[in-house]
A = this chain, B = another copy of it.
Amino acid sequence: MKKQPSTDARAPHLIELRLWRQFVAVAEELHFSRAAQRLNMTQPPLTQAIAQLEAALGLRLFDRTKRSVQLTAAGAALVPEARDLLARAAALPVFARASADGEAGRLRLAFVSTVGFDVLPRWVRAFREQHPKVQLELIEATGDVQLEALGRGEIDAGFILHSPGFAPPGLACQLIAREALVVALPGQNALAASDTLALKDLLEQPLVIFPRRILPSLYDAIFAMYHAAGHLPRVAQEAIQMQTIVNLVSAGIGVAWVPDSVRQFQRSGVVYREPRLANKGKGQAVPGCETSLVWAAGVASPALLRFMAFAPG
């Protein structure tokens, strides 16, 4: 025996848009035949449709006196609501297509504090102008927090600091900016007095440094630099935020190698210097640091692709 379509499968008392469309047409024409014409149908099924709608609602929408049709109070109240519903339904396909090609949608972007000063604001402003229907959510977070959030799908992409060559597994990565490291010195440190600074002057200074766990290549590059000069750096303190590193330097805890953009943190008691390396000529240079946009590999949304197309020159 064949099971017949279970009646409540079809619609658990959900009134279809068809009925609302027909209702609005009759309400606007106050005339079943004309409304039917407008709907490209004949009058009898329209009469039935309205009857069906009234039955579903359990109330009369029109006062029909064979010769004239008038809205009841409930009917009149429903007209604007029904119209609104239909307008929203009609807008969905448009919105869908806009979402598909990245014109609309939501982008949750995380960023580390250093890009928050210059790169990101300009980028975001330009993007917003061009794509007003994309809703941008910006969250400041450290690199490790961002990577976890990406893994859980809580953000669409993140701006992180990383050193050249480091490729997080499972993530796609686009270079945004490359910058040299500079040294942050406590203002009261004797070295801050002179305008120029050589690597050899720094070798004995205690270091405030980014944890290796987060940015191994930066950590290693700094160690390699000291090593080449015959020294093992003395780490006074690790800190995971540039803000904190600068604060620690300001407190005189030590000196720190930080990306150039950290200079934006104008903090009294801290001076920044570009040190000369002793053997620059021989090809050894101050190590650099890169800011990249990372996202879960293979799931770049159209909106994200649009966003990346705005990458500053």
12 further A-B pairs in the complex, CB-CB below 8 A; given A9-B40, A15-B17, A78-B95: A6-B41, A11-B21, A14-B89, A15-B89, A15-B92, A17-B89, A57-B93, A59-B100, A72-B100, A73-B102, A74-B97, A85-B88
Indicate whether A58 reaches chain B with its CB closer than 8 angstroms: yes
Which A residues between 12 and 62 are near B, CB-CB below 8 angstroms?
A: 13-18, 20-21, 39-41, 56-59
Contact: B89 with A85, CB < 8 Å? yes
Neighbouring B residues of A106 by C-beta, 8 Å: 77
Number of copies of this chain that the complex holds: 2
Q: Is A240 an interface residue (CB 8 A)?
A: no
Report yes or no: B59 in contact with A77, Cβ–Cβ below 8 A: no
Complex CA gap A158/B10 in Å reads 47
| Residues 135-187 (chain A) with a chain B CB within 8 angstroms | none
Other-chain contact of A95, B5, B77, B92, B95 (Cβ < 8 Å): B77
Q: Does more than half of chain A's interface fall in helix, strand or loop, or is it mixed?
A: helix
Q: Give Cα A20–Cα B92 distance, bound, in whole angstroms.
A: 10
Decide yes or no whether A96 CB sits under 8 A from chain B: yes
Q: Is A233 an interface residue (CB 8 A)?
A: no
Q: How far is it, in angstroms, between the C-alpha of A77 and the C-alpha of B98 when the chains are bound?
A: 10
Supply 17 A–B pairs (Cβ within 8 Å), ascending by A.
A11-B17, A11-B21, A16-B17, A16-B18, A17-B17, A56-B93, A59-B97, A73-B102, A74-B96, A74-B100, A77-B95, A77-B104, A81-B92, A81-B95, A84-B88, A85-B85, A85-B89
A9 touching B95 in the complex, CB below 8 Å, given contacts A17-B16, A59-B100: no
The yes or no answer to A190 lying at the interface (CB within 8 A) is no
Interface size on A, residues (CB 8 A): 49
Chain B residue nearest to A135 in the complex (CB) = B77
A61 to B302, CA, bound (A): 13
Residues of chain B within 8 A of A203, CB atoms compared: none
Contacts of A39 in B (CB 8 A): 9
Closest residue of chain B to A300 (Cβ to Cβ) is B73
B73 touches A303 (CB 8 A): yes
Q: Does A228 contact B (CB under 8 A)?
A: no
Instruction: List B contacts of A96 (CB < 8 A).
Output: 57, 59, 74, 77-78
A301 at the B interface (CB under 8 A): yes
User: How many Å lie between the Cα of A11 and that of B84 in the bound state?
Assistant: 17
The residue in A57, A82, A90, A96 that gathers the most chain B C-beta atoms within 10 A of its C-beta is A96
Is residue A8 contacting chain B, with contact meaning CB distance below 8 A?
A: yes
Residues of B within 8 A of A17 (CB): 11, 14-17, 89
Other-chain contact of A58, B8, B9, B76, B97 (Cβ < 8 Å): B97
Q: Nearest Cβ distance between residue A155 and chain B, in whole angstroms?
A: 14
User: Could you give, for residues 96-110 of chain A, a 1 whenever the CB lies within 8 Å of some chain B CB and a 0 otherwise?
Assistant: 110110101110000
